[in-house]
Amino acid sequence: MAMLALMRLLAVRQRRRQKRQRRRIQARGAATAREGSGSPCEHDGNSQGGKPARYSGPTLPENILYHIHSLLPLRDAARAACVSHAFLNSWRCRPNLNFSIETLGLEANEYGADKATVEEFIKNVDHILKRHSGIGLKTLDIDVYFLRFDIDPQDGNNANPCHLDSWLRLALISGIEELILVLPAKVPKYNFPCSLLSGKSGNSIQYIRLSSVPSFQLFCFGAAGSLVMQ
């Protein structure tokens, strides 16, 4: 009987210790949450409902951090910018922007994408380009094979060509050196805004790779150091 009573006493004490440990862990967790609460980050580092807690980042020279960050895939780079001030600064000066269904984590097939995917793609590209500082941007790679540019209100998969015009304008103003543009192979064709390449905006372009651009528009790419048509 004495042994049974002792075992019960030890079990009670063990449970009490476990409860105290759980309370201490919960108290520390609550304090941490109060100090750095916030919603998970979206695409390029913005949050909804509060500011996310940020990690100050490793103590490496800024140029090394920027280089490391520039090597990350687009979505991984955006996530890193959510938790590090150093990577956030790098995100706003990212030298290479590659926009496609795959890099933005969306889905489409060889025939195109549904309305929700088209809207999400346009929203994300708008969001990222408008928040880029324009400093250090060297390459813009846009793959919009799944879009159609005829304005038909009955077809939710269509995109207004002004969206692509504005993306190209922002990139050219920033002084990009390389432009890669994959357009839909089906008609109607997208009419490249040649006026964007006139004057200072087009002086920095060294390389252009295009697909499905009407041949009569080739004259406007004469200033490029290298032009590849597909």
Higher local confidence (pLDDT), 45 or 139: 139
Using CA atoms, how far apart are residues 11 and 121, in angstroms rounded to an integer? 59
Does 133 lie in the same domain as 222?
yes
pLDDT confidence band for 43 (50 / 70 / 90)? very low
Taking Cα atoms as reference points, which of 214, 228, 142 lies closest to residue 182? 142
Using CA atoms, how far apart are residues 44 and 127, in angstroms rounded to an integer? 8
Distances in whole angstroms, Cα of residue 229 to Cα of each of 88, 99, 209, 210, 211:
35, 19, 6, 5, 6
pLDDT tens, position by position, 98-107? 999 999 999 8
- Residue type (1 letter), 7: M
Does 177 lie in the same domain as 116?
yes
Cα-based angle 179, 180, 185 (whole degrees, multiple of 5): 140
Number of domains within the chain: 2
pLDDT tens, position by position, 138-185? 999 999 888 876 655 455 556 778 889 999 999 988 889 999 998 887
- Cβ atoms of 230 and 210 within 8 Å: the answer is yes
Give the mean model confidence (pLDDT) for residues 115-141. 91
Asked if residue 30 has pLDDT above 60, the reply is no
Asked if residue 196 has pLDDT above 70, the reply is yes
Does 224 lie in the same domain as 177?
yes
Instruction: Specify if 38 maps to a domain.
Output: no
pTM equals 0.67
Q: Which domain holds residue 105?
A: 95-229
Among residues 91, 121, 142, which one ends one of the domains? 91
Among residues 39, 73, 91, which one ends one of the domains? 91
Does 190 lie in the same domain as 140?
yes
Cβ neighbours, 10 Å, residue 122: 17
Q: pLDDT exceeding 70 applies to what percent of the chain?
A: 60
Structure tokens that stand for 24 in this block: 């201490």
Does 194 lie in the same domain as 138?
yes
Output the pLDDT for position 217. Answer: 56
Using CA atoms, how far apart are residues 140 and 178, in angstroms rounded to an integer? 6
Output the pLDDT for position 85. Answer: 84
Asked if residue 70 has pLDDT above 70, the reply is yes
Phi, psi of 61 (to 5 degrees): -55, 145
Cα-based angle 108, 109, 110 (whole degrees, multiple of 5): 135
Where helices occur in 96-179 by DSSP H, the ranges are: 115-131, 161-173
H or E segment to which residue 192 belongs = none
pLDDT tens, position by position, 72-92? 999 999 988 888 888 888 899
